[in-house]
Amino acid sequence: MCRVLIYLGQQETPIYDLLYGPDNSLAHQSYAPQLMHHIQNLAGLGLCAWSHHSVNAELPFYYKTTELPFFDKNLYRLSKKIVTNCMLAHVRGVEYSTNETVADQNVHPFKLENTQIAFAHNGNLSGMSEMKQMLTSRIKPEIYSQIKGTTDSEWIYSLFLTQLQDYTAEISLDEAWDALLKTLIILREIREECGINEASPVNLFVTNGKYLIVTRFVYDFGCNINKVHKAFLEYHSLWATFGEHYGIHDGVYKMLGSDKRRNILFASEPLTNDRTAWIELPEYSITKAWIENDEVIFRTHDLIV
């Protein structure tokens, strides 16, 4: 199981304050998660971080490594110097299995060079090998040819880009939203055609640096009756917090101020041991957040596909 965070705000925040600073930061979650029963086998960290003040602001600082974040001294040092107004970061967790490939191309987030949209996934699609043949015909050839890794997530990303009118152009929030829903519907259809009914979590994270979309969803939730060890699979957690200013207050990282909601942060787990100022997103849901009149707005919708 992976760990993900996505931030969108008016405030340019040092990425250190998200990755390393808080007592349950993403780096901390990678080896001592609080909401998972066991520690994951780490397979890398990646991030896309946008900043209004950087050169070529529409391009994110894009970093991927199979190194573990707590050993990555370079990232640690850089994180104190790089600020972001939108960041998608992902720690990849894989099964203890020789079937897994630990490699750069499998590290999230995924972002093709010729699109602005970055994408990450927390979960896994059961029966992916059976699904691949059908998926191939549903993905645009020029996108299919850019699949480099072995993850199901990259296939979902490719299918998502295919649903966009022109994935290389500026994509509106509405178009990205519709494309993500179409992607989930196609995956459902293919699962049905392949006779796959094992629970498959798909917490998805999409952003172009200006808006974000997150899902908290599991196909066929609870349908693992013949595999007792998997039967109690819970919904992958997803939390959010928002406020006027993000930083250290009274020795604890938190969002402060609610007069103007300038920043929003979603994460697999609250970034602080104190979960007071965090809310959990509902199961079977899709949420979008964007900036309007200097404020972050977010809306959560039921997700049925």
Partner 1 sequence: MQTNMIKNVDLLHDLTETELTFLSDYLTKKIYSPGEVILHQGTSYSDLYIIESGEVSVSVILPGNTTIEATRLTSGQIFGEVAFLAHTLITATIAAVGTVECIVFYGKILNMLRIAYPETAYKIELAIAKQTNSKLTGNLVRIKELLRTIPVKYRTVSQHAQYLPDPTAMVEEVEATSINRELIKHMDFFLELTEDETTYLLSFMSACKYDKGYRFNTKNAPGKLGLICSGAIMLFITDGQKLLKSLAVSGVGELFMQNFLSQEFGLIATYVTCEKSITLELTVENYMRLRECNPYIFYAISQHIHGTIAGSLYIVNRQFVRMNSEYKDLLA
Comparing CB distances to partner 1, the nearer of 78 and 297 is 297
**DSSP state, residue 105:** G
Distance, CA of 255 to CA of 261 (rounded, Å): 9
Comparing CB distances to partner 1, the nearer of 82 and 186 is 186
Minimum distance of partner 1 from residue 41's CB (angstroms): 23
Minimum distance of partner 1 from residue 200's CB (angstroms): 12
- Those residues with Cβ within 8 angstroms of residue 67's Cβ, 6 or more apart along the chain or in another chain: 44, 45, 75
List residues near partner 1 by CB under 8 A: 220-226, 228, 231-235, 240-244, 249, 254-258, 261, 274-284, 295, 297-304
Comparing CB distances to partner 1, the nearer of 55 and 225 is 225
Is 241 within 8 Å of 152 (Cβ atoms)?
no
Comparing CB distances to partner 1, the nearer of 5 and 117 is 5
The structure tokens listed for 256 are: 């402060």
Convert 48-86 to b/e letters by CB count within 10 Å (16 or more is b).
bbbbeebeeeeebbebbbbeebbebeebeeebeebbbbb
Minimum distance of partner 1 from residue 288's CB (angstroms): 11
CA 68, 52, 6 angle in degrees (round to 5)? Answer: 40
Q: Beta strands of 95-170 (E only): which ranges? A: 118-123
Minimum distance of partner 1 from residue 230's CB (angstroms): 10
Minimum distance of partner 1 from residue 244's CB (angstroms): 7
Minimum distance of partner 1 from residue 220's CB (angstroms): 6
Q: Which residue carries 């908290």 as its tokens?
A: 216
Distance, CA of 298 to CA of 287 (rounded, Å): 7
Comparing CB distances to partner 1, the nearer of 98 and 226 is 226
Comparing CB distances to partner 1, the nearer of 63 and 211 is 211
Cα of first residue to Cα of last residue in the chain, in angstroms, is 23
